[in-house]
Structure 1
Amino acid sequence: MSQSLLIITRQAPWSGPGAREALDIALAGGAFDLPLGMLFLDDGVFQLASGQQAASLQQKDLSANLQALPMFGVESLYASSRSLQERGVPGDALALSVEVLDDSDLTALIARYDQVITL
């Protein structure tokens, strides 16, 4: 039986390689039918903001990778309500459908997974 994996992504899409690495791990795990979820926390919620213009920062756009997550079987997607609120990212304007969780729900979510990776 496969162990479940939760990937917590905490970096904005333009602040370094962490956001891309988290997506790469999720896509690879999904391709091998690994039971996994992805949590967007802290600045990681900026990855969910629609209308990003990565080219203006000379960065590669991650939106195609985000949209591919469900196609690779990664359908358990979560975001912190506090992180969204603190960063002014409206929950109804996200580029990807995620379950928005409060702090107590985040604790329960993390406890449900066998392994947790934070990037």
Structure 2
Amino acid sequence: MPNSMLIISRQSPWSGPGAREALDIVLAGGAYDLPLGLLFLDDGVFQLAPGQQPAALQQKDLTANLQALPLFGIEALFACGRSLAERGLDPRALPLPVRVLADDEIARLLDDYDHLVTL
């Protein structure tokens, strides 16, 4: 069985290429049925904010990529509850079915994966 990998996305969708690169890794891994998870942490939770208008910042919209995650078999989606709260995001309004985790749950989640990739 292939090793599992958790991608930790810490960048907002408009702060650089990190958010897009994290999604690309997850989508590519999902296409090959690799055991993957995706954790939105720190400013990475802004990727989950509803009603984004990336064109105003001359950025590409990541919404379609995010919506495609379940189609690629990526169902292990997590978000840091503290990060959401600090940024004023309501977990019930998120456009993806993410599991919101407390800090201690995140520590256990990290132990569940063989490899961690932070972007």
Is 1:76–2:76 an aligned residue pair? Answer: yes
What SS does the aligned partner of 2:50 have?
Answer: coil
TM-score where L is the length of structure 2: 0.99
* Alignment partners' CA distance in 2, 1:63 and 1:10: 16
What SS does the aligned partner of 2:16 have?
Answer: coil
Residue 43 of structure 2 is matched in structure 1 by 43
Aligned partner letter, 1:27: L
TM-score where L is the length of structure 1: 0.99
Aligned partner letter, 1:3: N
Show structure 2 runs of 5+ residues with no match: none
Residue 53 of structure 2 is matched in structure 1 by 53
Number of residue pairs the alignment of both structures matches: 119
Q: Cα deviations across residues 8-34 of structure 1 (Å, max 9, x unaligned)?
A: 000000000000000000000000000
Identity %: 68
TM-aligned CA deviation for residue 90 of structure 1: 0.9
Residue 100 of structure 1 is matched in structure 2 by 100
Root-mean-square deviation (CA), in Å? Answer: 0.4
Runs of 4+ displaced beyond 4 Å: none
TM-aligned CA deviation for residue 95 of structure 1: 1.4
* Alignment partners' CA distance in 1, 2:79 and 2:60: 22
TM-aligned CA deviation for residue 56 of structure 1: 0.6
Show structure 1 runs of 5+ residues with no match: none
TM-aligned CA deviation for residue 67 of structure 1: 0.3
What SS does the aligned partner of 2:8 have?
Answer: strand
Residue 64 of structure 1 is matched in structure 2 by 64
Q: Cα deviations across residues 62-118 of structure 1 (Å, max 9, x unaligned)?
A: 000000001001100000000000011111111111000000000000100000000
* Alignment partners' CA distance in 1, 2:26 and 2:107: 20
* Alignment partners' CA distance in 2, 1:44 and 1:33: 24
TM-aligned CA deviation for residue 36 of structure 1: 0.4
Residue 88 of structure 1 is matched in structure 2 by 88
